[in-house]
Structure 1
Amino acid sequence: MSDGPARLLLKPAQLRLIHEIAEHGQLQLAADACAMSQPAASRMLADTERQVGAPLFLRAPKGMTPTEIGRTVLRRARVILREFNSMASDVTALRGGLAGSVRIGAVTGPAVNYLVSAIREIKQAAPEADITVDVLPSRELLGALFAGEMDFVLGRILPEFENRDLNILPMRDENVSMLVRQTHPLARAPAVTLTELSEYEWIMQRRGAPIREAALDAFASVGLGEPRNIVSSPSLLLTIAYLSQSDAISPISDEVAQLLLRPPVSAGFAVLRLQREIRVPPYYLLSLRRRPLSPLAARLRDGVIAFSERGARDLGAGTGRY
């Protein structure tokens, strides 16, 4: 009674030798292609045929041609060799940060600014790299980071998360702009005060969001309570739609405002000229100490840092770029 088909365990070097013999028809040429001596190639071929249990090639004065069994082995050998070559290419790409997957998160400001530039740079060199970006509040970003669901995040440090578990790189703080539609009654005013703004309708992020809290702190600093007429939403899309249909005001990251105001978007909005600057505490590039970044994630992180530093230099030089 048969124990089933025999197992044939050929090594990659054996498969490549078989392939090269079939390609060249000469053992010496195949040996040269495999960077081995002819005697070593002869011994490897004999050992391979012994494992198969049959000749793989017919020997003739004009060269070597595959037998029927040899053609069957060759067909499978070429498939396996292609897979080995593909695997080697994949590993090289992964090690070079040109392939693989990465998931990151960011608060809105950096997400619409230099993070986009860093991702575009990666995709130009590695179009098949799988990059996922979530734009969320810092609390949700840190929760996903500590759960192992993100490689790194651009967010703010919160007291409920252990800082000692994080690699922390300071990035930038954010300037808050007051965004309105171009036809807003105050859009062309040379300067506006918070007192003038307090009676208007507002659309803001959820309570506790840093930009909303910075705006409300600014009102409190001049002795004003928060505006009475507020719509709360974390959705930037809803905010844009609401502003376009009303005289509401929205405090948003300056990076988002510039994106909406400048070409090619030029979405029909304006930024009010406040008498005072409103800033949000800085955000950081955060990753877990216990989880080393993959080559692709590290490459993207380095790109984010480079574009952030370039943006800081441009601002320092007074170019007005963001």
Structure 2
Amino acid sequence: MVPTLASIASRLRLKQLRLLIALDDRGSLHKAAELISISQSGATKALHEVESLIGMPLFERQPKGLVANEMGRCMIRYARLIHSDVEHLHEEMLSILQGQGGRLSVGVIMGAVPLLTRALTALRLKQPDLSVELVENTSATLLGLLDQGRLDLAICRTSVGQRTEAYDCIELSEEPLAVVASKDHPLACEEALHLAQLSDYRWVVYPKDMPMRQALERELNEAGLKIPRYPLETSSILATILLVQQDPTLLAVIPVEVAEYCEQFHLLVKLPVALRALNEPFGVITRAGADLSPAATLLINELQNDLTT
């Protein structure tokens, strides 16, 4: 029987979590105890306390040492997350006491990466000691991380979330789209193209129900064209760029600003075919009613300043 949340919260201690991580890293009680500077008897007692709380063993003794079972691996995974959060707390406390920049965790969708990197560059010139964690992913994933408190803010869209009322949004920008291809693609040197000329080629697309894919399928439907077979689906911009660059039969839809960056460094070419922007602009998304840190407020100011200059 799984213990209640109240029981876990009242009985589980950071020392025990550190021991679980050390056991996973070292594979023995003796080495784990040395790593976290406690006696072996103390380590044995701490492990027994955790296993008593959970109600089952967390490790199995094997020839190569102690090996976590399924429940043990679950506990270790969350122990690492909690320990990481405590480390970040310590870093931010030191930064505040020393008058430095603090720490910021920011999520971003692919199309907003150029805007965010410019804003972060400007901000770090003013706050050189600011520590930033940047997570690129889809809007749906970023909203989940925001819900869990893993991100201070995200630059994405709320329409893919299940509870739009759970977020505050500061609208930033629309996201114009472009079709890109390898410089060796048969259409790479064309001066003008219609969407119909692209429909027979293969595409790298975002996963189902993501705005970038919906935009492509909307354009094809409105032009009376059939939806092509998609051999490759990915939410990774790097994978998209490399796949299209290396395969002259592929096409992809990516944000215009990312496409222009790729053209600048001769990675891909932007095909001369018109696509509309995504229906919903992206914005700075935070948990509804959340108090923003000074660093988060400064970043939002830089994002807004970039769009007005």
**Bin of the TM-score, shorter chain as denominator length:** 0.5 to 0.7
Within 2, Cα distance between the matches of 1:232 and 1:88?
Answer: 43
**Structure 2 gap segments, 5+ residues each:** 1-92
Q: Which residue of 2 aligns with 1:251?
A: 253
Give the secondary-structure state (helix, strand or coil) at the position aligned to 2:208.
Answer: coil
Note if contact 2:95-2:102 (Cα within 8 Å) is conserved in structure 1.
no
Q: Which residue of 2 aligns with 1:277?
A: 275
Q: What's the offset of the Cα at 1:160? A: 4.1
Note if contact 2:140-2:160 (Cα within 8 Å) is conserved in structure 1.
no
Q: Which residue of 1 aligns with 2:34?
A: none
Q: What's the offset of the Cα at 1:164? A: 3.1
Q: What's the offset of the Cα at 1:88? A: 9.9
Within 1, Cα distance between the matches of 2:96 and 2:169?
Answer: 31
Give the secondary-structure state (helix, strand or coil) at the position aligned to 1:239.
Answer: helix
Q: Which residue of 2 aligns with 1:172?
A: 173
The alpha-carbon distance between structure 1 residues 272 and 159, as it changes in their structure 2 partners (threshold 3 A), is closer
The alpha-carbon distance between structure 1 residues 89 and 150, as it changes in their structure 2 partners (threshold 3 A), is closer
Deviations 1:249-301 (Å, cap 9, x if unpaired)?
01111111011112xxx133211101x33221211211123321111111112
- Kindly name which structure, 1 or 2, has the bigger radius of gyration based on alpha carbons: 1
Note if contact 1:142-1:161 (Cα within 8 Å) is conserved in structure 2.
no
Indicate yes or no: 2:101 matched with 1:99: yes
Give the secondary-structure state (helix, strand or coil) at the position aligned to 1:227.
Answer: coil
Question: Scaled by the length of structure 1, what TM-score is found?
Answer: 0.63
Within 2, Cα distance between the matches of 1:240 and 1:273?
Answer: 18
Q: Which residue of 1 aligns with 2:87?
A: none
RMSD: 2.0
Deviations 1:15-34 (Å, cap 9, x if unpaired)?
xxxxxxxxxxxxxxxxxxxx
The alpha-carbon distance between structure 1 residues 273 and 88, as it changes in their structure 2 partners (threshold 3 A), is closer
Within 2, Cα distance between the matches of 1:156 and 1:89?
Answer: 31
Q: Which residue of 1 aligns with 2:124?
A: 123
Note if contact 2:179-2:251 (Cα within 8 Å) is conserved in structure 1.
yes
Within 2, Cα distance between the matches of 1:170 and 1:268?
Answer: 31
Deviations 1:80-137 (Å, cap 9, x if unpaired)?
xxxxxxx9984372xxxx41111011111111x2211111122223322110111111
Alignment of 1:9-158 (within 5 A): 90-91=96-97, 93=99, 98-111=100-113, 113-158=114-159
The amino acid across from 2:233 in the alignment is S
Within 2, Cα distance between the matches of 1:291 and 1:237?
Answer: 33
Q: Which residue of 2 aligns with 1:237?
A: 238
Deviations 1:154-197 (Å, cap 9, x if unpaired)?
11112644333322111111111111111211112121112111
Give the secondary-structure state (helix, strand or coil) at the position aligned to 2:173.
Answer: coil
Note if contact 2:203-2:251 (Cα within 8 Å) is conserved in structure 1.
yes
The alpha-carbon distance between structure 1 residues 242 and 286, as it changes in their structure 2 partners (threshold 3 A), is same
Q: Which residue of 1 aligns with 2:217?
A: 216
Question: Scaled by the length of structure 2, what TM-score is found?
Answer: 0.65
Note if contact 1:179-1:271 (Cα within 8 Å) is conserved in structure 2.
yes
**Structure 1 gap segments, 5+ residues each:** 1-86, 311-322
Within 1, Cα distance between the matches of 2:206 and 2:269?
Answer: 19
Q: What's the offset of the Cα at 1:305? A: 1.6
Within 1, Cα distance between the matches of 2:95 and 2:229?
Answer: 61
Q: What's the offset of the Cα at 1:146? A: 1.7
Aligned residues: 215
Q: Percent identity?
A: 23
Q: What's the offset of the Cα at 1:151? A: 0.8
Q: What's the offset of the Cα at 1:216? A: 1.0
Indicate yes or no: 2:296 matched with 1:290: no
Give the secondary-structure state (helix, strand or coil) at the position aligned to 1:249.
Answer: strand
The amino acid across from 1:268 in the alignment is L
The amino acid across from 2:303 in the alignment is V
Give the secondary-structure state (helix, strand or coil) at the position aligned to 1:174.
Answer: coil
